[in-house]
Amino acid sequence: MKIAISSDHAGVEYKRALVEFVQELGYFIEDLGPYNEDSVDYPDFAHKLAEKVLSKEADLGIVLCGTGNGVAMAANKHQGIRAGLCWNKEIASLIRQHNDANILALPARFVNVEEAKEIVKAYLETPFEGGRHQRRVDKIACM
Ligand code: RB5
């Protein structure tokens, strides 16, 4: 499974730690930037990640900003992207099981790095349940 990751400046430090962690878990991960702490605009990196996932160059995405909200809002503007904001591992499992979330959004300023790793692990290791949840996921899109 191929994972892609991006952030804004608020998430760069956590992104570095998560790239290493995801590799240790045995996945291939592509870091879409940014690569230093200079201030950037979070939508630029959220859109870049959403495009990677939609083009199927990545199976799942991880995105970070200070609250996780800005990047989630931007990513969710793409038809076919289901980005879920998670601050604990239980929610991370549920956005896979119930929502088939293809992007995990993390609030770098509101979880510690160990919590972020737990959340990422739960997100990557939990499958979509399908069934009644597929019917509901199919109703998310606005045509
Ligand atoms: C950057 O200061 C901050 O606004 C950003 O990381 C994010 O929290 C936006 O939603």
Task: Assess whether the C-beta atom of 41 lies below 6 angstroms from ligand 1.
Answer: no
pLDDT for the residue numbered 143: 74
pLDDT for the residue numbered 17: 98
What CATH number is associated with residue 35?
Answer: 3.40.1400.10
Give residues with Cβ within 8 angstroms of 44, minimum separation 6.
Answer: none
Indicate whether 64 belongs to any domain: yes
Indicate whether 80 belongs to any domain: yes
Question: Which amino acid makes up residue 47?
Answer: H
CA gap 36, 16 in Å, rounded:
10
pTM confidence score: 0.98
The domain total for the chain is 1
Indicate whether 59 belongs to any domain: yes
Indicate whether 143 belongs to any domain: no
Indicate whether 89 belongs to any domain: yes
What are the tens digits of pLDDT across the range 13-37?
999 999 999 999 999 999 999 999 9
Indicate whether 117 belongs to any domain: yes
Question: What CA–CA distances, in Å, run from 130 to 93, 100, 134, 138, 139?
Answer: 14, 8, 5, 11, 13
Indicate whether 142 belongs to any domain: no
Q: Active-site residue among 9, 78, 86, 98? A: 98
Residues spanned by the domain of 21: 2-137
What's the token pair of residue 139? 């109703």
Does the annotation mark 65 as catalytic? Answer: yes
Which atom number of ligand 1 is nearest to the Cα of residue 73?
10
Indicate whether 56 belongs to any domain: yes
